[in-house]
Amino acid sequence: NQSERMKRLIEDLVEVSKASSGNIEINLDRCNAGVMISQMAGEYEQRLADAGLELVCTAPEEEVFVMADGRRIWRVFDNLMNNARKYALSGTRVYVSLEAEGERAVFRFKNISREALSVNADELSERFVRGDESRNTEGNGLGLSLVKKILDVTDGEISAENLPEGEYLMYGAIRTKAD
């Protein structure tokens, strides 16, 4: 287990470093954002259910296309959904939505954190920062940093928000340039 965690940490560090320096290969292609949401739901619905979470996905009826690197966007989805699986309060829902807003497609991920966050939402995308410093799960504190770096180099953006109750975290809007 420890060697697998170390391998994952090294891979994440290399990818964050490449993205930070602009040395990451990006292959933009026309992608159907609704299909991306459906694929993600198929991949994570059971994993979330096993963690006591219900996945709720919403998308517009009309097709929404984006110019994106499908592999990199999948990494973004994977990191966000794994965070929800690991850190969301059991017995709650994980919401994922897709909306077309002007010339952008906006993906929103929202869940209720199991523990109150000990950092400001803006700090979550910094390297090695974890929402609760007492966490001792398999995470390495690079997931949201990697998400931010990938989106920075693909003309996307991410924001996080602590909602008034203090225990909610919304992974704001992931914006990818629509075609």
**pLDDT in the model for residue 103:** 77
Of residues 66, 57, 151, the one with CA closest to residue 110: 57
**pLDDT in the model for residue 115:** 76
- Tokens at residue 111, please? 């869940």
Q: Beta-strand (E) ranges in 15-103?
A: 29-32, 54-58, 65-68, 93-101
Q: How far apart are CA 14 and CA 143, in angstroms?
A: 12
Overall size of the chain counted in residues: 179
**pLDDT in the model for residue 130:** 39
pTM score, two decimals? 0.74
Q: Say if residues 12 and 146 touch (Cβ distance below 8 Å).
A: yes
Q: Beta-strand (E) ranges in 15-155?
A: 29-32, 54-58, 65-68, 93-101, 104-112
Intra-chain end-to-end CA distance of the chain, in Å: 43
**pLDDT in the model for residue 119:** 60
What's the average pLDDT block by block, 10 residues per block, for the chain (179 residues)?
Answer: 74 69 79 93 96 96 88 86 89 92 84 72 47 48 72 74 53 56
Average pLDDT in the chain: 76
From the CB of residue 23, how many other CB atoms can be counted at a distance below 10 Å? 9
Instruction: Give the residue carrying structure tokens 């950092």.
Output: 119
- Tokens at residue 23, please? 């040395």
